[in-house]
């Protein structure tokens, strides 16, 4: 991470970032946290001052609210999906339903050498539940959210391989698996956003130490 050029400027920016939701996204981007070029630093401070000024256009406020709501729907919708499917993995119908996918997958078939069909399904369910809990902790522990989201990325990438490894897959089943592309995109976004939030909190703590 680049060296902080001015602790006073960083401290001021952190205070401004806490003033409203609109600048939360701005303040969390690496380019707005750390600068080495004084000219760029002054320019960025001016941009931040304009963003948090008293005359913010209504369409910007509306866009900020919609973006915040959309992000919440994406992240916690993913949490809900993981919780739902994680709990279902503990049931026999779900364990039987995923057996054909897992048995033909080189990434999952080895589980059946050490566990029964039901036990292997439960293992997958536990992973999904743990990921859901970690992602849900974004507000308090963004780094935990980043970890859970990263694991979810690997999970959805793995399930998408079923399109190749599962023989005789009908159209409806293919559509069920393909939907994981959207979930993969949400997991990718969640990982990146949580990592930026972790950096922001770290920088804010450093700034407060010097303020």
pLDDT tens over the chain, length 211 residues? 444 444 555 555 555 544 444 344 444 444 443 334 444 444 444 544 454 555 788 999 999 999 999 999 999 999 999 999 999 999 999 999 999 999 999 999 999 999 999 999 999 999 999 999 999 999 999 999 999 999 999 999 999 999 999 999 999 999 999 999 999 999 999 999 999 999 998 888 888 888 7
In a domain, 30, yes or no: yes
In a domain, 209, yes or no: no
Distance, CA of 133 to CA of 126 (rounded, Å) = 11
DSSP codes joined into one string, 190-208: HHHHHHHHHHHHHHHHHHH
Distance, CA of 184 to CA of 81 (rounded, Å) = 12
46 and 94: one domain? no
81 and 167: one domain? yes
In a domain, 122, yes or no: yes
pTM value?
Answer: 0.75
Picking from 107, 194, 180, 83, the residue whose alpha carbon sits closest to that of residue 149 is 194
122 and 33: one domain? no
32 and 122: one domain? no
174 and 91: one domain? yes
In a domain, 177, yes or no: yes
174 and 136: one domain? yes
In a domain, 201, yes or no: no
40 and 89: one domain? no
31 and 125: one domain? no
Q: What share of the chain is helix, strand, coil (3-state, %, to 5)?
A: 80, 0, 20
Count of domains forming the chain: 2
In a domain, 65, yes or no: no
For residue 9, what pLDDT is reported?
53
3-class secondary-structure state, position 211: coil
81 and 133: one domain? yes
Distance, CA of 48 to CA of 127 (rounded, Å) = 41
155 and 111: one domain? yes
Distance, CA of 94 to CA of 102 (rounded, Å) = 12
For residue 13, what pLDDT is reported?
54
143 and 77: one domain? yes
Distance, CA of 173 to CA of 28 (rounded, Å) = 40
183 and 93: one domain? yes
For residue 48, what pLDDT is reported?
47
What domain range is 110 assigned to? 71-196
For residue 207, what pLDDT is reported?
83
Distance, CA of 13 to CA of 204 (rounded, Å) = 9
For residue 138, what pLDDT is reported?
97
DSSP codes joined into one string, 37-50: -HHHHHHHHHHHHH
In a domain, 203, yes or no: no
In a domain, 173, yes or no: yes
């Amino acid at each position: 991470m680049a060296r902080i050029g001015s602790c006073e400027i960083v401290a001021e920016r952190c205070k401004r970032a806490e003033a409203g939701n609109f600048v939360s996204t701005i303040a969390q981007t690496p380019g707005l946290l750390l600068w080495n070029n004084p000219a760029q630093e002054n320019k960025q401070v001016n941009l931040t001052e304009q963003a948090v000024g008293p005359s913010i256009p209504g369409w910007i406020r509306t866009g900020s609210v919609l973006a915040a709501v959309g992000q919440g729907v994406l992240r916690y919708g993913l949490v809900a999906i993981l919780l739902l499917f994680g709990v279902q993995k503990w049931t026999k119908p779900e364990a039987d339903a995923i057996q054909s996918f897992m048995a033909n997958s080189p990434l999952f078939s080895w589980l059946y050498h050490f566990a029964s069909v039901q036990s292997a399904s439960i293992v997958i369910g536990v992973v999904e539940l743990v990921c859901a809990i970690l992602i849900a902790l974004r507000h308090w522990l963004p780094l935990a959210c980043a970890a859970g989201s990263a694991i979810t990325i690997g999970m959805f990438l793995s399930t998408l391989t079923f399109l190749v490894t599962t023989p005789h897959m009908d159209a409806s089943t293919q559509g069920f698996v393909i939907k994981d592309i959207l979930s993969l995109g949400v997991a990718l976004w969640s990982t990146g956003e949580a990592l930026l939030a972790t950096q922001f909190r770290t920088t804010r703590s450093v700034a407060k130490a010097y303020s």
